[in-house]
């Protein structure tokens, strides 16, 4: 290869390594070579074979060089295996993306600890990097440092990355304090049917933000003379709309009252972070938040987001459907109390450790040991409610759990237009789910799971439910195009393999 090609390949390898948060020593260990050899490869000073490029691509889970069509990632699952041991819950996806957006409020250095290394986070980082924000993984890739510039380069925003995440909508709150005019692409993410952004617009209009939507772009204009002169009543008690209102209120110099606010886990994490920025927030954990904002924020802040209750529910479900004894560690108990109460009523055999505190010093955690159980269908329907009710994102997991229980379970997923429909994909794996309407599914159990090859549903939680059912099915299943799972879970297959699953990642040749 020419020196020019070697340098370009070296740059690609260095970028992929840094994107994964690895040091040169990490990559060297994975390849069975020396750190100095990796250094020479990345500088373009060493010849490199196609075999070595393939090994590096596999180690970094990145297509360094594509020969022909670069296809999506798939999973091959050998099911019917029992899980054992213990597995830790990772930090919250939804909290991490909100905190990355919140870092734009701060002119100083923000460090977020144990950030979830998932595609949703990567997309936000790509957007932040494209507008001039300096971000880098530190402490061997465990934590991330964010330093905004004095002036953002909003015209350079990475539109492709922005369109692949719904979290982009949370830039509205911070950006309205940075500039009078800006544009962001329409929010993307999971395909869950029509989800209006109107509640965001209504809330942020009280801070002078006016939005015109044309050609896939939100065109924003800010009228500085408009400020909240009375409490803001959210028309939807949604998590992201509450976060957007909080982000706007944090830099509003004065007192803002937000009513009908979500009190869910990611909102509480954001409130705790804002308090470290010097913003006083009263009513955390309730539906009325009083925010004492600051016109300017310039502090160095270090914050640890809490663990993800939805991932905890995922891991708990993995144990239930595979009839395994598994300890799920670092479970945010206060955000799973209803789910655990329902499961115990169904007959789940489990033990809880004494409570301890998360890294943020506020959230209560437990370790939860789940054992094989003979479950009975619940008498009442399974339906979500705003916190402290059963979490909206945990509803799909009850479809797989109900399929293992004796009797009929009615699941009413009233929030999203399409998600209940995706749950019927479990019928391909032997489930007996009857779709009553776009929001209600009747689940008959118990069933015997069977292996199948399927395309991944385009919604995160139903996709994971399908994967967990495949783990319970005797034989080999294939789940194709699993990007949506990687949006919300960090190395889920690898971590499940560590407790006894057999899941292989592959791409088409």
* Of 15, 35, 70, the domain-final residue: 70
Please indicate, yes or no, whether residues 204 and 317 belong to a single structural domain of this protein: no
* Distances 440 to 346, 395, 452 between C-alpha atoms, Å: 20, 11, 24
Question: Residue 169 in contact with residue 163, Cβ under 8 Å?
Answer: no
Residue 68: pLDDT above 50? no
Please indicate, yes or no, whether residues 136 and 263 belong to a single structural domain of this protein: yes
Q: Which of 156-170, 308-322, 405-419, 448-462 has the highest mean pLDDT?
A: 308-322
How many folded domains does the chain comprise? 3
Question: Residue 354 in contact with residue 366, Cβ under 8 Å?
Answer: yes
Per residue in 87-97, pLDDT tens? 999 999 999 99
Per residue in 139-182, pLDDT tens? 988 999 999 999 999 989 998 888 888 788 899 999 999 889 99
Burial of 77 (0-12, 13-18, 19+ CB in 10 A): buried
Q: What is the mean pLDDT of residues 358-379?
A: 96
Per-residue pLDDT band at 2 (split at 50, 70, 90): low
* Of 280, 303, 326, the domain-final residue: 303
Smallest Cα–Cα separation from 189: which of 499, 460, 450, 473?
460
Q: How confident is the model at residue 1, as a pLDDT?
A: 52
Please indicate, yes or no, whether residues 402 and 414 belong to a single structural domain of this protein: yes
Please indicate, yes or no, whether residues 46 and 179 belong to a single structural domain of this protein: no
Smallest Cα–Cα separation from 359: which of 302, 277, 311, 304?
304
Burial of 33 (0-12, 13-18, 19+ CB in 10 A): middle
Please indicate, yes or no, whether residues 393 and 256 belong to a single structural domain of this protein: no
Please indicate, yes or no, whether residues 378 and 500 belong to a single structural domain of this protein: yes
Question: What sign results for the dihedral spanned by CA atoms 492, 497, 502, 507?
Answer: positive
Residues 6+ apart with CB under 8 A from 348: 320, 340, 370, 373, 375
Per-residue pLDDT band at 437 (split at 50, 70, 90): very high
Residue 190: pLDDT above 70? no
In terms of DSSP H, where are the helices of 131-223?
A: 159-163, 172-175, 198-205
In terms of DSSP H, where are the helices of 48-192?
A: 50-60, 93-102, 119-130, 159-163, 172-175
* Of 260, 275, 303, the domain-final residue: 303
Domain assignment of residue 278, given as a range: 93-303
Please indicate, yes or no, whether residues 334 and 383 belong to a single structural domain of this protein: yes
Please indicate, yes or no, whether residues 298 and 421 belong to a single structural domain of this protein: no
Which conformational region is residue 500 in: left (phi greater than 0), alpha (psi within -120 to 50 degrees), or beta? left
CATH of the domain at 317: 3.65.10.10
- Tell me the C-alpha distance between 433 and 424, whole Å: 6
Between 268 and 490, where is the model more confident?
268
Please indicate, yes or no, whether residues 97 and 198 belong to a single structural domain of this protein: yes
CATH of the domain at 16: 1.10.260.40
Please indicate, yes or no, whether residues 183 and 272 belong to a single structural domain of this protein: yes
Q: How confident is the model at residue 324, as a pLDDT?
A: 97
Q: How confident is the model at residue 195, as a pLDDT?
A: 45
Q: How confident is the model at residue 187, as a pLDDT?
A: 66
Please indicate, yes or no, whether residues 65 and 114 belong to a single structural domain of this protein: no
Please, what is the average pLDDT of the chain? 90
Please indicate, yes or no, whether residues 389 and 364 belong to a single structural domain of this protein: yes
Helix (H, G, I), strand (E, B) or coil at 115: coil
Over the range 230-241, which residues count as b (16 or more CB within 10 Å of their CB) and which as e? eebebebbbbbb
Between 500 and 6, where is the model more confident?
500
Q: How confident is the model at residue 216, as a pLDDT?
A: 81
Between 69 and 61, where is the model more confident?
61
- Tell me the C-alpha distance between 325 and 453, whole Å: 27
Which of these ranges, 16-25, 275-284, 359-368, 432-441, has the smallest mean pLDDT?
A: 16-25
Task: Return the ∠ at Cα 220 (arms to 266 and 260), rounded to 5°.
Answer: 35
Q: Which two tokens stand for residue 464?
A: 């994971």
Q: What percent of the chain has pLDDT over 70?
A: 94
């Amino acid at each position: 290869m020419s020196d020019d090609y070697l340098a370009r390949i070296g740059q690609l390898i260095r970028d992929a390594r840094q994107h994964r948060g690895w040091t040169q020593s990490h990559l060297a260990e994975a390849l069975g070579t020396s750190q100095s050899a990796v250094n020479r490869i990345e500088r373009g000073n060493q010849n490199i074979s196609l075999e070595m490029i393939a090994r590096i691509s596999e180690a970094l889970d990145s297509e360094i060089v594509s020969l022909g069509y670069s296809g999506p990632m798939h999973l091959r699952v050998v099911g019917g295996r029992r899980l054992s041991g213990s597995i830790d819950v990772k930090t919250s996806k939804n909290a991490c993306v909100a905190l990355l957006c919140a870092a734009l409020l701060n002119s100083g250095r923000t460090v977020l600890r144990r950030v979830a290394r998932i595609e949703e986070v990567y997309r936000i980082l790509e957007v932040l990097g494209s507008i001039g924000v300096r971000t880098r993984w530190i402490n061997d890739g465990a934590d991330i440092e964010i330093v905004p510039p004095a002036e953002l380069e909003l015209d350079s925003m990475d539109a492709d990355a922005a369109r692949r995440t719904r979290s982009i909508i949370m830039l509205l709150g911070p950006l309205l304090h940075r500039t009078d005019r800006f544009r962001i692409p329409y929010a993307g993410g999971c395909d869950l049917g029509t989800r209006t952004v109107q509640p965001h617009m209504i809330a942020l209009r009280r801070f002078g933000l006016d939005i015109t939507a044309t050609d896939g772009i939100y065109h924003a204009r800010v009228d500085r003379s408009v400020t909240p002169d009375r409490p803001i009543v959210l028309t939807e008690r949604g998590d992201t709309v509450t976060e957007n209102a909080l982000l706007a209120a944090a830099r509003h110099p004065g007192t803002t009252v937000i009513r009908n606010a979500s009190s869910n886990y990611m909102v509480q994490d954001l409130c705790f972070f804002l308090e470290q920025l010097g913003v006083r927030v009263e009513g955390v954990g309730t539906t009325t938040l009083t925010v004492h904002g600051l016109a300017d924020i310039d502090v160095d802040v270090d914050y640890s987001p809490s663990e993800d209750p939805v991932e905890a529910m995922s891991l708990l479900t993995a144990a239930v459907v595979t009839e395994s004894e598994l300890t799920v560690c670092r479970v945010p108990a206060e955000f799973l109390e209803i789910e655990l109460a329902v499961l115990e009523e169904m007959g789940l055999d489990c033990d809880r450790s004494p409570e301890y505190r998360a890294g943020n010093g506020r959230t209560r955690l437990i370790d939860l040991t789940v054992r094989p159980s003979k479950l009975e269908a619940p008498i009442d329907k399974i339906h979500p409610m705003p916190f402290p009710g059963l979490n909206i994102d945990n509803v799909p997991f009850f479809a797989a759990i109900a399929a293992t229980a004796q009797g009929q379970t009615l699941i009413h997923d009233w929030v999203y237009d399409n998600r209940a429909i995706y749950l019927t994909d479990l019928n391909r794996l032997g489930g007996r789910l009857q779709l009553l309407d776009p929001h209600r599914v009747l689940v008959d159990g118990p069933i015997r799971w069977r292996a199948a090859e399927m395309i991944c549903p385009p919604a995160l939680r139903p996709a994971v439910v399908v994967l967990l059912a495949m783990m319970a099915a005797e034989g080999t299943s294939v789940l194709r195009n699993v990007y949506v799972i990687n949006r919300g879970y960090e190395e889920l297959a690898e971590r499940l393999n560590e407790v006894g699953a057999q899941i292989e990642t592959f791409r088409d040749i």
